[in-house]
Amino acid sequence: MSAATPLQQQKPTNQPAPWTRKDLVGLQELSAEEITLVLDTAAAFKDVGTREIKKVPALRGQTMVNLFVEASTRTRVSFELAAHRLSADVINVSASSSSLTKGETLKDTAKNLEALHADIIVLRHSSAGASQFLAERLEASVINAGDGAHEHPTQALLDTFTVREKLGRVAGIHVAIIGDILFSRVARSNIHALLKLGAKVTLVGPSTLVPREFERLGVTVTHDLDSVLPAVDVVNLLRIQHERQRKEYFPSLGEYTALFGLTKQRAERLKPGALVMHPGPINRGVEIDSDIADSSRSVILDQVTNGLAVRMAVLYLCAGVRAFK
């Protein structure tokens, strides 16, 4: 056995994690230091998945409620598995199976969950601000799993984590976010995270879905995908959300694919080593060609794996702050 030298790289500090939030509502209010802390913590938690026993006792005895008022499979499952890996107990509540359909308000539902000693509430809701609303009213930790078109912080954290893991850094990396920016909470959270960590962001899509107003955030807006591709290190393709879109935003899926789909021909314009990302679920043949989704550039499945680590980190940090007595 040879002497390993990883210790030279590791700079131990005796300080606690500089994290003081019981909730994670959005990335807009986080500092670059806080975002980096989540990513570093996630890197440590990612290794838990490679152990013989894929479970640590950090949140033993705590209860997490997945309150999903809007449908989701992958985010809910990812949070559920993250909580299991941390030894927390998990309850899933979906809108269709809860009293929300009987007219109970969100606040009353959440207060009832808290009366059952829920420690962490993971909320997915169709209204922007729903997580903030609950976070201000509950003792429990509230984690935003997507609120309307506002934010989806854990998705952006896992996207940023994947960029950092694959390219070694975030600062100076040029990311193109392509598609429906207007309705996308994923895009908003990504813009906040990437800009805070020093990346360059270009938004691409039809003018109806990528209005120029976004430039006020400090990003570049363009409607010409072909000119952007050779310059970027990462393309993050957003799903065309059939369920949200009305017809007036673009004429047809076919026309969208022709102008903004990442086809095989277009992908050839990318730099060698440029990454293709997608928050899923992917619409093969619409925003991305099947071949590209399965190519070596694609880190779509790495994103899923990293999402688990990022959510473990967020649950650990927020629950850690809330648990202090």
Partner 1 sequence: MNPTSTPPAPAPGATLILDCAAIERCLKRIAHEIIERNPDLSTVALIGIPSRGIEIARRLAAYITEFSGTAPFTGVVDVAMHRDDLHRHRLPPRVERTILPGDLSKLTIVLTDDVLFSGRTCRAAMDSISSFGRPARIQYAVLVDRGHRELPIRADYVGKNLPTSHGQRVHVRFEATDGIADSVWMSHD
> Residue 139 interacts with partner 1 (CB under 8 A)?
no
Identify the DSSP state of 116: T
Tokens of 108: 């009353």
Question: CA torsion 29→314→311→151, rounded to 10°?
Answer: -20
Of 39, 45, 164, 178, the one binding partner 1 (CB under 8 A) is: 45
> Residue 2 interacts with partner 1 (CB under 8 A)?
yes
Nearest to 84 by CA among 313, 324, 320, 312: 312
> What is the β-pairing status of strands 89-94 and 141-147?
unpaired
Min separation Cβ 320 and partner 1, Å: 3
Residues 6+ apart with CB under 8 A from 94: 68, 69, 71
Asked if 118 and 67 touch (Cβ cutoff 8 Å), the reply is: no
Q: Which CA distances in Å does 317 have to 82, 127, 182?
A: 13, 25, 31
> Residue 168 interacts with partner 1 (CB under 8 A)?
no
> Residue 117 interacts with partner 1 (CB under 8 A)?
no
CA 319 remoteness from chain centre: 19
Asked if 122 and 275 touch (Cβ cutoff 8 Å), the reply is: no
Mark the segment that binds partner 1 (CB under 8 A) among 178-186, 216-224, 251-259, 315-323. 315-323
> Residue 321 interacts with partner 1 (CB under 8 A)?
yes
Tell me the DSSP string of 167-218.
HS-STT-EEEEES--TT-HHHHHHHHHHHHTT-EEEEES-TTTS-GGGGGGT
> Residue 115 interacts with partner 1 (CB under 8 A)?
no
Min separation Cβ 315 and partner 1, Å: 11
Nearest to 205 by CA among 188, 224, 192: 224
Of 33, 49, 51, 241, the one binding partner 1 (CB under 8 A) is: 51
Mark the segment that binds partner 1 (CB under 8 A) among 14-22, 93-101, 105-113, 167-175. 14-22
CA 114 remoteness from chain centre: 25
- Site residues for partner 1, window 58-77 (CB under 8 A)? 58-60
> Residue 19 interacts with partner 1 (CB under 8 A)?
yes
> Residue 41 interacts with partner 1 (CB under 8 A)?
yes
Mark the segment that binds partner 1 (CB under 8 A) among 5-13, 66-74, 168-176, 214-222. 5-13
Q: Which is nearer to partner 1, 86 or 113 (CB)?
A: 86
Mark the segment that binds partner 1 (CB under 8 A) among 129-137, 210-218, 297-305, 311-319. 311-319
> Residue 88 interacts with partner 1 (CB under 8 A)?
no
Mark the segment that binds partner 1 (CB under 8 A) among 11-19, 95-103, 159-167, 192-200. 11-19
> Residue 216 interacts with partner 1 (CB under 8 A)?
no
Min separation Cβ 183 and partner 1, Å: 34
Asked if 76 and 92 touch (Cβ cutoff 8 Å), the reply is: yes
Binding site residues, partner 1, CB under 8 A: 1-7, 10-20, 40-41, 43-45, 47-48, 51-53, 55-60, 86, 313, 316-317, 319-321, 323-325
